[in-house]
Amino acid sequence: MKHTFCLIVLLLGVVVSTNAQYLTTLPNGGNSKASVSERIGLTDVTIQYHRPAVKGREGKIWGTLVPMGFTDPGFGSSKSSPWRAGANENTTISFSTPVTIEGKPLAAGTYGFFLAMEPGGATVIFSKNSNSWGAYFYNEKDDALRVPVKTVALAEPVERLKYEFFDEQEASAVIALLWEKLKVPFKVEVDYVAEQLNTYRRELQGNMGFRWEAWSEAAVFCLQRKVNLEEGLRWSDNAMSPLFGGQKNFTTLSTKASLLDALGRTAEKDAVMKEAMPLATMLELHGYGRGLIAAKRPKEALEALLMNAKKFPGVYTTTMGLVRGYSANGDFASALKYAKAALPLAPDKVNKDAVERFIKLLGEGKDVN
pLDDT in tens, 165-218: 999 999 999 999 999 999 999 999 999 999 999 999 999 999 999 999 999 999
Is residue 91 located within the same domain as residue 228?
A: no
Q: Please tell me whether residues 38 and 185 are part of one structural domain.
A: yes
Domain membership of residue 59 (yes or no) is yes
Stated pTM of the model: 0.80
d(CA 259, CA 253): 10
The SS3 assignment for 149 reads strand
282-303 in b/e form (b: 16+ CB < 10 A) is eebbbbbbbebbeeebbebbbb
247 — pLDDT class (breaks 50, 70, 90): very high
Number of domains in the chain: 3
Is 308 found in the same domain as 204? no
Instruction: Say if residue 23's pLDDT is above 90.
Output: no
Which residue, 143, 30, 45, is CA-closest to 97? 45
Is position 20 within any domain? Answer: no
Is there a domain that residue 18 lies in?
Answer: no
Q: Per-residue pLDDT for 8 more than 60?
A: no
Domain presence at residue 275:
no
Q: Does 183 share its domain with 304?
A: no
Same domain? For 319 and 252 the reply is: no
* Residue finishing a domain among 228, 243, 266: 266
Q: What is the pLDDT of residue 27?
A: 64
Q: How many CB atoms lie within 10 A of CB 140?
A: 13
Does the residue 4 lie in any domain? Answer: no
Look at residues 190, 215, 249 and tell me which one is the last residue of a structural domain. Answer: 190
Calculate the average pLDDT of the chain. Answer: 91
User: Are 248 and 205 members of one domain?
Assistant: yes
Same domain, 313 and 300: yes
Residues 157 and 207 in one domain: no
Give the type of residue at 131.
N
Same domain? 51 vs 186: yes
For residue 136, the model assigns a pLDDT of 86
> 320 in helix, strand or coil?
helix
Q: Is residue 209 part of a domain?
A: yes
Q: Of 190, 213, 236, which residue is a domain's last?
A: 190
Q: Check pLDDT > 50 for residue 12.
A: no
Contact 244, 209 (CB under 8 A): yes
> Are residues 185 and 200 both part of a single domain?
no
**163 within some domain:** yes
Has residue 12 been placed in a domain? no
Domain of residue 253, residue span: 191-266
Kindly report the CATH number assigned to the domain that includes residue 351. 1.25.40.10
Residues 199, 239, single domain; the answer is yes
Q: Are residues 216 and 141 part of one domain?
A: no
